[in-house]
A and B are shown apart, each in its own frame.
Chain A
Amino acid sequence: MGIAPDHEGELVITLSSMALGAPAMLAGLALISLPVLAHLLHRRARRHVLFPTTMLLVASAASQSHLFKLRRLLLLALRCLAMAMLILAFARPIWLRSQNDAAASEEGVALVILFDISASAAQDSQGVPVIYELQAAAERTIGSLLEGADAANIVYAAAQPRPAFVRMTANLAAIRQEIQSAKPTYERADLRAALGMAGKLLAERRGSRHLVILSDLQATNWVDTMARLGADKPLPDQTQITIVPLESAPSGNVALSEAALSGPMAIVARPTEATVKLTNFSARAQVVTTSLRVDGRPVGSQSVSLGPWQQRSAAFKVQFDKIGHHRLQFVIPDDSFPVDNSRDLVARAVERIPVVVLADDDPNEPGTSSYFTIRALAPFGDRRDHYEVRHRTSAGVSWKHLSGATTVFVCDVHELPTSLNAALHRFVDSGHGLVFFCGAGPVNLNLAALDRLANGALLPWEPGAFRDLAAQGDQLFLSRGNWESSLLRIFDDRSRMVLSQIRIGRVWEVASVDPEADVLLKFSDGSPALAVRSVGSGKFMLANFSADLSDSDLGKYGSFVALMQILVSDLQAPAATGRDGTVGRSLAFSSLASFDPARGGLAVHGPDGALVPDANFSLDLDNLVVHLSRTDKPGVYVASQHQQPIGMAAANVDPRESDLRRVNTEVLREQLMELGAQAVIARASADQELSLELRGRPLWGWMLVAALAALGLEMGLVGYWRR
């Protein structure tokens, strides 16, 4: 038994395996004298019966139970036991299960609350905001700490976790105040980083370390977090983790996600398709009305029937009447998780979509590759075309000439300068499409240079030696293709047959095919003719043919026009969603409107109209690039110069936040155990007193039960014996 002064001088009596939190209450043991006194008084006041004779009674007394004489003593013992247990319960005894518990009693508790304030914490669970439940649990947790002896901190788990205080603090009042001000964000929590931060804070303190996880336990986040943790052990040894599951079950949720246009840009005065995905995260079929607003004006609504756990798309035809940025907002009625009931999208409307054809041949000479390619992309040669084709030669082309285009077609070029290679790599890496037609010339050298810039992660297939089949009287045909792919699905049997009859005279041998490549077309000898590979945010497509008449007859056929239209459309698609930022992450977008760098007055305003303080501006050639290190609200962020909008981008809630299903606490417990935590206690109910586990196993509940049991037994025996 030891007596250790705590930080405020109050004595905490520590037995070898038990500690008393309020030893002063032991003075109450004097109250045990009450039942003893009552027993003595009652003994005197025992009922006396004046009976005619006790002769027969005495003769019969031998038969009475031996226990009878001890009954009153037994009752007295039960009463004293009840009183003692009651008083001991008030003395807050704790069973010290381990050295950690003993350390907690002697050196105090270090407790960090991992407070999940991700977007999913904004859900209403059975009518109660989850954040309220978490706040209540946090209050109880802090309330269980010993003022002056214990230290605590809060780690808010959001996209960028942050501690409430720089260090562990014993100022519990400040922590309570901090808890009250906690609000859910619109972000997806980086729980891995939050665990790491909690571990660092706990490592500051000696003694008993506790981590209390207050989270909605969203499965999409925790499963991902635990998978990412892998062998990492972010928590110090002997850390006890307590998981507090929510009492209420998650409600069903219908979410919007993946808002997109059919292309990266819309063409003014031409209808385009805006789509959004609706997902029903519940086991109940629902009909959801989805509406779309463009620049604040409603343009339509439609009802979408969703089965359980089903995802469907809603498509709207929209048409923009002027060039520039337009705001699209998809909205569904509010439900228990309103954060994902609207989705913003910024669309850019242009007169025509710019594409670049990079070729060193003469585009006006019939039969050249660029001749056929330009006419395939812009058959009309006027404003009726969707694409504004800009022809460039390899000499003197830089990033500036590529900027603004959605796709670049490289046809018949000489050996490309290094600067151009770098510009092309940057172009495709930043989310654009690059189509490289192999023909004659230093194709292998150009591709090798590009591949080097991409660290070997560019080429779908690697070219070998050049083969002039026509000179040998041989030829190949585009006889096979991945016709079920989204790209080539549009080709019917007749078109396929036509395509398969086109003669290909000059090709490059295929040295190897990258496993990440998607081979779309194959030659009759089985070698890849057209393959695509994702590079950075964009796509690189390599065709083992060109439209030059000396290479193939492809340019002569209408199928080539169809193929080019499909290719340019498909390669633009990645860029369409590239602008859709995620709340909690950085957001970068370019200004398309003309601005004067000399005038200054640049600013970025958030969805609520507030000025975004940490916006960075940089010049990329003539374009202004706006970089927001972090977005904190969903909606449209507008860059302006002297109040004149010059660019905008949308940020939306991470769609993974919409799935409110919770992780199995048992599974999570097992995974957390692997982090080196000493014990993980998954509490059955958030209402339970969390303090009970901080310094060991609390015994006062059991003592109250023992007191009640003793009283109950005493009453039962009295009733039975008086029956």
Chain B
Amino acid sequence: MGRSAKQSTRPRGNRYLRIQDLRALRHLFFASRRPVEGRYAGRHTSRQRGHSIEFNDYREYIPGDEISDLDWKMYGRSDRMFIRLFEHQSDMTVNLLVDGSASMGYGGVDRPPVAEAAVTGDSWVGRINLARRRPRPAPEADVFKAPTKFDHACLLAAAIAFLTIRQQDRVALGVAQEGLKHFRPPQGSHGHLRRLLMDLESVRPAGRGRLAESLHTLAQRTNRKGLLVMFSDLLEEQDEVLRALSLFAHRGNEVIVFQTLHADELNLPGLAEAVFVDSESDQRVRLNVKDIRPEYEHQLKQFLGSWSNSFRAREMDHNVVSTSTPYPKALQRYLFRRARAV
């Protein structure tokens, strides 16, 4: 009762954003490695020609060009008409896509799932378990101390959104939950940021993500080169997801994937024996963790390696993030590495 009263007094939109955690990142500049296309002038390199003071190239005059762009000195020397081209720096659009599937709602063995129970088994036991796992929002403290995968992804997304808007770029958001949901077109205002956060807070992981479908939809709704940052556990068909991501890459977007996994997935929980229920497919498997742990680690390594190789081949950033790693640290580590690479 005390908790709900406390929650009711807090303003909405602060669940996934704690600005003091991001102080260490305030001097970092979040930029794309590729040229972007923006609507407004900004600080990011663009292939667009503009009117900045940075000379870029010459081009022969084509009828219709502005007469004022002619380089008259060149015309005097060569008797040919050239137009001087200057670099254009525009703002950047960062598209955030958060996986809202049921698998992202996993918060640990001892923690009831945040999502609507994905277990839809008809068995009596299944119903009992569903009743026991009545979804409820995780307390705010849990979000930072023991986040679910979705929480962790939202924290990262919120942090990137905040950093992006703080550097006067634009952020778009979508949640992959049975297709693209909660889409917010790119904007760069703090009000927009608050709305994004509120959207994230309102999402309860459930169902399937359908990342490929979501990516295609997102691609249709965004037409400017920018940055695509996707947060997902990537528990979907690999080829479809890669094809969808490649679409963004071909359009000139830089693709960054944060593969968010729970610590229990990276290192199986210490259970002797249990029935593991797939959060999305309801598939059940009875296991003795001790027996399969080595093989599981091998399988996981192969799974992550497959994704990693695929992303590397497509020049996409791939970061495996554990929920046991505090999100500021995970973000800082990635940004520093990215800065060194640039």
- The residues of A with any CB-CB pair to B shorter than 8 Å are 44, 46-65, 68-69, 71, 721-723
- B58 contacts A by Cβ under 8 Å: no
Interface contact A54-B235, CB-CB below 8 Å: no
Identity of the chain B residue whose Cβ is nearest the Cβ of A64 in the assembled complex: B291
Interface contact B288-A65, CB-CB below 8 Å: yes
- Residue in B104, B106, B284, B295 whose beta carbon sits within 8 Å of that of A63 in the complex: B295
- Chain-A contact segment, one of B117-125, B215-223, B333-341: B117-125
- Residue in B103, B118, B274, B290 whose beta carbon sits within 8 Å of that of A48 in the complex: B274
Interface contact B125-A63, CB-CB below 8 Å: no
Which residues of A have CB within 8 Å of B56? none
- Nearest chain B CB to A258's CB is how many angstroms away? 81
Which residues of B have CB within 8 Å of A61? 285, 287, 292
Interface contact A65-B291, CB-CB below 8 Å: yes
Interface contact A53-B296, CB-CB below 8 Å: no
- Residue in B118, B284, B291, B300 whose beta carbon sits within 8 Å of that of A56 in the complex: B300
Q: Is the interface of A mostly helix, strand, loop or mixed?
A: mixed
Which residues 120-159 of B have a CB within 8 angstroms of A?
Answer: 125, 129, 133, 149
- B19 contacts A by Cβ under 8 Å: no
Interface contact B277-A50, CB-CB below 8 Å: yes
Which residues of A have CB within 8 Å of B291? 63-65, 68
- Nearest chain B CB to A56's CB is how many angstroms away? 5
- Residue in A57, A65, A721, A723 whose beta carbon sits within 8 Å of that of B285 in the complex: A57
Cα-based distance from A50 to B125 in the complex (angstroms): 13
- The residues of B with any CB-CB pair to A shorter than 8 Å are 103-104, 106, 109, 113, 117-119, 125, 129, 133, 149, 233, 235, 262, 264-265, 269, 271-281, 283-288, 290-292, 294-296, 298-300, 303
Interface contact B271-A47, CB-CB below 8 Å: yes
- Nearest chain A CB to B217's CB is how many angstroms away? 24
Interface contact A721-B273, CB-CB below 8 Å: yes
Cα-based distance from A57 to B277 in the complex (angstroms): 10
The 10 tightest CB contacts between A and B, nearest first, are A64-B291, A52-B103, A63-B295, A60-B295, A722-B272, A60-B292, A54-B278, A60-B296, A47-B274, A52-B106
Interface contact A63-B294, CB-CB below 8 Å: yes
Cα-based distance from A649 to B149 in the complex (angstroms): 111
Cα-based distance from A59 to B301 in the complex (angstroms): 13
Which residues of A have CB within 8 Å of B235? 52-53, 55
- Nearest chain A CB to B237's CB is how many angstroms away? 11
Cα-based distance from A54 to B300 in the complex (angstroms): 12
- Nearest chain A CB to B233's CB is how many angstroms away? 6
- Residue in B149, B285, B298 whose beta carbon sits within 8 Å of that of A52 in the complex: B149
Identity of the chain A residue whose Cβ is nearest the Cβ of B293 in the assembled complex: A60
Interface contact B277-A48, CB-CB below 8 Å: yes
Which residues of B have CB within 8 Å of A57? 276, 285, 287, 292, 296
Cα-based distance from A57 to B297 in the complex (angstroms): 10
Identity of the chain A residue whose Cβ is nearest the Cβ of B130 in the assembled complex: A50
A to B CB contacts below 8 Å, 9 in the list? A50-B117, A53-B278, A56-B299, A58-B285, A60-B295, A60-B298, A60-B299, A64-B288, A722-B273
B106, B119, B262 interface centre (most CB from chain A within 10 Å):
B106
Which residues of A have CB within 8 Å of B149? 52
Interface contacts beyond A59-B295, A65-B291: sample of 18 additional A-B pairs, CB < 8 Å, sorted by A: A46-B274, A49-B277, A50-B106, A51-B106, A51-B264, A51-B277, A53-B103, A53-B235, A53-B278, A53-B280, A54-B281, A56-B299, A57-B292, A57-B296, A60-B296, A64-B287, A68-B291, A723-B272
Interface contact A49-B300, CB-CB below 8 Å: no
- Nearest chain B CB to A673's CB is how many angstroms away? 57
- Nearest chain A CB to B303's CB is how many angstroms away? 6
Interface contact B113-A68, CB-CB below 8 Å: no
Q: A48-B277, A50-B279, A53-B279 are in contact. Are A63 and B292 (CB under 8 A)?
A: yes
- Nearest chain B CB to A53's CB is how many angstroms away? 5
Identity of the chain B residue whose Cβ is nearest the Cβ of A722 in the assembled complex: B272
Cα-based distance from A47 to B109 in the complex (angstroms): 10
Cα-based distance from A63 to B133 in the complex (angstroms): 31
Cα-based distance from A49 to B109 in the complex (angstroms): 6
Cα-based distance from A262 to B294 in the complex (angstroms): 100
Identity of the chain B residue whose Cβ is nearest the Cβ of A718 in the assembled complex: B272
- Nearest chain A CB to B247's CB is how many angstroms away? 25
Cα-based distance from A44 to B129 in the complex (angstroms): 11
Q: A48-B129, A50-B279, A64-B292 are in contact. Are A59 and B117 (CB under 8 A)?
A: no
Cα-based distance from A44 to B109 in the complex (angstroms): 19
Interface contact A59-B299, CB-CB below 8 Å: yes
- Nearest chain B CB to A39's CB is how many angstroms away? 14
- Nearest chain B CB to A70's CB is how many angstroms away? 12
Which residues of B have CB within 8 Å of A51? 106, 264-265, 276-279
Cα-based distance from A721 to B273 in the complex (angstroms): 8
Q: A61-B287, A61-B292, A721-B288 are in contact. Are A49 and B299 (CB under 8 A)?
A: no
- Nearest chain A CB to B288's CB is how many angstroms away? 5
Which residues of A have CB within 8 Å of B106? 50-52
Interface contact B283-A49, CB-CB below 8 Å: no
Interface contact A49-B296, CB-CB below 8 Å: no
Cα-based distance from A507 to B294 in the complex (angstroms): 118
- Nearest chain A CB to B164's CB is how many angstroms away? 28
Interface contact A46-B275, CB-CB below 8 Å: yes
Identity of the chain A residue whose Cβ is nearest the Cβ of B236 in the assembled complex: A53
Cα-based distance from A46 to B129 in the complex (angstroms): 11
Cα-based distance from A722 to B272 in the complex (angstroms): 5
Cα-based distance from A54 to B275 in the complex (angstroms): 10
Interface contact B277-A58, CB-CB below 8 Å: no
Which residues of A have CB within 8 Å of B273? 46-47, 68, 71, 721-722
Cα-based distance from A54 to B119 in the complex (angstroms): 13
- Residue in A44, A52, A721 whose beta carbon sits within 8 Å of that of B233 in the complex: A52
Interface contact B285-A44, CB-CB below 8 Å: no
Cα-based distance from A597 to B125 in the complex (angstroms): 111
Q: A60-B299, A721-B272 are in contact. Are A54 and B292 (CB under 8 A)?
A: no
Which residues of A have CB within 8 Å of B292? 57, 60-61, 63-64
Cα-based distance from A481 to B300 in the complex (angstroms): 115
Which residues of A have CB within 8 Å of B278? 51-55
- Nearest chain B CB to A115's CB is how many angstroms away? 60
Interface contact B280-A49, CB-CB below 8 Å: no
Interface contact A49-B103, CB-CB below 8 Å: no
Identity of the chain B residue whose Cβ is nearest the Cβ of A59 in the assembled complex: B299
Cα-based distance from A721 to B271 in the complex (angstroms): 10
Cα-based distance from A48 to B129 in the complex (angstroms): 8
Interface contact B129-A49, CB-CB below 8 Å: no
B106, B149, B291 interface centre (most CB from chain A within 10 Å):
B291
B233, B278, B303 interface centre (most CB from chain A within 10 Å):
B278
Which residues of A have CB within 8 Å of B113? 50
Q: A47-B271, A721-B272 are in contact. Are A54 and B299 (CB under 8 A)?
A: no
- Residue in B104, B118, B233, B269 whose beta carbon sits within 8 Å of that of A49 in the complex: B269
Cα-based distance from A8 to B287 in the complex (angstroms): 58
Which residues of A have CB within 8 Å of B271? 47, 49
- Nearest chain B CB to A722's CB is how many angstroms away? 4
Cα-based distance from A64 to B295 in the complex (angstroms): 9
- Nearest chain A CB to B124's CB is how many angstroms away? 8
Cα-based distance from A52 to B285 in the complex (angstroms): 13
Cα-based distance from A52 to B288 in the complex (angstroms): 17
Which residues of A have CB within 8 Å of B118? 50
Which residues of B have CB within 8 Å of A69? 286
Cα-based distance from A53 to B285 in the complex (angstroms): 11
Interface contact A48-B125, CB-CB below 8 Å: yes
Which residues of A have CB within 8 Å of B283? 54, 58
- Residue in A50, A60, A63 whose beta carbon sits within 8 Å of that of B119 in the complex: A50
- Nearest chain B CB to A421's CB is how many angstroms away? 107
Identity of the chain A residue whose Cβ is nearest the Cβ of B205 in the assembled complex: A52
Identity of the chain A residue whose Cβ is nearest the Cβ of B112 in the assembled complex: A50
Interface contact A56-B288, CB-CB below 8 Å: no
Cα-based distance from A53 to B235 in the complex (angstroms): 7
Which residues of B have CB within 8 Å of A60? 292, 295-296, 298-299
Which residues of B have CB within 8 Å of A50? 106, 113, 117-119, 129, 133, 277, 279
Cα-based distance from A59 to B306 in the complex (angstroms): 15
